[in-house]
Structure 1
Amino acid sequence: MEYTLRETDIFDTKLADKFYDMIKDDLGLFEDDKYYNFTVSFHVDSNENLLSFMEFKLPPPETKINRKNRDYEKEKKYDVLGFQLKELESVLIKNKIDFHMSTIQGEQLEFTNNIKILILENEPENQITKNGMKKKLFISRSIMPSRPYTTGLINDYRAKRMNELYHKFFTMIGDKKIISEILEIKETQDDKLLFKAFIDEYGELWWTSREREEELVNKLKSRGMEVLQKHIDEEQRQIDDLTQY
């Protein structure tokens, strides 16, 4: 479900109350045996309003924090965003809506004075045991003051990582015809097409679980060995044919 809180911003101390007023009529729509992903988006331009971040009054921390030699402005921004996220989460908790992932992020929203909230059902395999019972899941929280900036960094890292992996793969094989066959595409000498096929098939390698990485690596090795053995066998047959004369 999607909710838009209008005429407000991330510095509004009544944000949680406004959220409750908007969601209260929908509380019966959330299922007890489900987990949800909770995403709060504010306008990314709010990050420029350092004065509002600095003046935002937070409750005293439970433990003393040593901020010596730290970026106080940056930490205050994260503290404010983390506080507002937990305030909004409290609406779900008080109404027994279980969530597994919780995010607050700066986005390029249509209006600067809106807050967008998404509550989406989590994947069933992540929340149900083999006996059909609901698992007790830890809450994963993330704070992204600027999602476009973070996404850009991730994409840059992904491109670099996949280029490194492809270079190792290409150097090991060295023959574009064989690489085309391993990637199961029409034979080509076009590096861009080969790289795209590699990304399409093995793009998850840049960031995935250990099990999925092992699965993809084994698939690439197996396919590579299969194709290489095929070419070795073909060359051997040609040699055998020549030696018969």
Structure 2
Amino acid sequence: MDTAERQTILVVDDEAQIRKFLRISLYAHGYAVIEAARGEDAIRKLAEESPDLVVLDLGLPDIDGQEVIRRMREWSSAPILVLSVRADEAGKVLALDGGANDYVTKPFGIAELVARARALLRGREAPAAAEAGYGRGGLEVDYAARRVSVDGGEVRLTRKEFDLLRLLTRDVGKVLTHEALLRAVWGDAFADQTHYLRVHIGHLRQKLGDDPNAPRFIHTEPGVGYRLSE
């Protein structure tokens, strides 16, 4: 399986051996894995790389995992699977009430962990799979398969580039403001980070072969946002 086609799981654990075991095991089951050993790094990687699922240990060296869940849930809806040695019922309830989607206690079996991860990812895929896609003017976007082509040639996009394009193609002709795009793709905490948006729109245009001075697809509305050609 091509790495670009794999769903991505962010593994957050301060134990290097656990991260290595999960990286090897999850990759063998068809997933791409990114890692973080600290809570702050996990929050940053969730924002920058938009993984499909977070596997989170609660005992982190800088921030308690319960706080990590709370901060992630301020702006992200990515499913969170807690993987922790903490087996007390109160801690489980606190994590689940705080926004975690599932809870597995260490020691754990990889088969159970993968099954629970698969169930969470299926739930996340369902809305996207119901959407068909976009096709007009040589641009084809398959929402469910996350595939893009221009004039019949496949275009490889990063996760955030694809998410931006999907938003634009779902509201053809409408101006989507900088703030709306940033909130939808990066979350509420990034609503004023317009440089993120400029960089990703620039990369997206390059890959689509779109000249910003004579746009075929993406038009800039100065000081406001972007829209897709009707």
User: TM-score surpassing 0.5?
Assistant: no
Structure in which a larger fraction of residues adopt strand: 2
> Rg bigger for which structure?
1
User: TM-score, structure 1 length as denominator?
Assistant: 0.24
Q: Name the one with the larger helix percent.
A: 1
Q: TM-score, normalised by structure 2?
A: 0.25
Name the structure, 1 or 2, with higher relative contact order (CA <8 Å, separation 6+).
1
